[in-house]
Structure 1
Amino acid sequence: MEVIDTLGGVTIINQQAFEYGGFTFPEGEIRLHSGKEAMEYVRMRYDDPRGDFGRQERQREIVRGILNEAAQFENAWKINQLLNALSENVQTNLQMEDMIDIQRHYRPAMNEIYYYVVPEASIKEWSSRLRHELAL
């Protein structure tokens, strides 16, 4: 939350309009103005037809928004505040050069992450088959 507050908010693409935690999130490009608003955006899952997968996608969208916002020239002067916010909220055993290396080599893959939601009918069918085969 502190990172988003330091940046003054993030812009993201919302795939589904919904209301949660006292906030309204319309579909399309939206600006989340605070860390609290971003947390509520991420937390919703029970009304999402994709369940936890939808929540995970919103988490990725927030991370993308943070990275895009942090890369803006006008945020360069906030680097110390950002590093302080990160150091209070992130623990890692990676060295800074390792993190830079990861970012440089894996950034192109960021837009190629996907998942598949198995239809409920298929889950029931395979569950039934497995129970039969395992004599459960």
Structure 2
Amino acid sequence: MRKEDPEGDLGRQNRQRMVIKAILDKLISIDSVTNYKKILSAVEVNIQTNLSFEDLLDIKSGYVDALDNFTQLSIAGEELYYDEIYYYYVDPEERLRVANTLRNELEIEEVQFSDMNLSDADASFGYGQMTSALSATRVSDSDNFGETDDITEN
């Protein structure tokens, strides 16, 4: 399924989120509190922490409501292929939108486009011109994310 997902990397991320949420839901259930030693011994080879069980319970109590209000944010962009490397280019306007969405969630003041630190590629080429300026080949578009076009050399 990993390589055949019609949603590509976004589908993989959704499945990972579902697994993590299921694990967290199980960990915060009443059964988990009574069987925590069994659970910790089952996962201890994959997890390293210096937190005590009481610390974990304190953390859980602060985040239990957040599990029900989980929102996924997608970032629109273009997949580019240049010099045998794939890139995901996100134009400055989209980066500003995402940055301000996160800032709103964190109750931090929004930034303006002029406040952003643009890379040389953004400043020199601008969005839309980057593909021709870098002689990159477009392999997918955000409307059909996960579907690839034929790769051709420019």
Bin of the TM-score, shorter chain as denominator length = 0.3 to 0.5
TM-score normalised to structure 1 length: 0.46
Q: Which has the larger radius of gyration?
A: 2
More helix per residue? 1
TM-score normalised to structure 2 length: 0.42
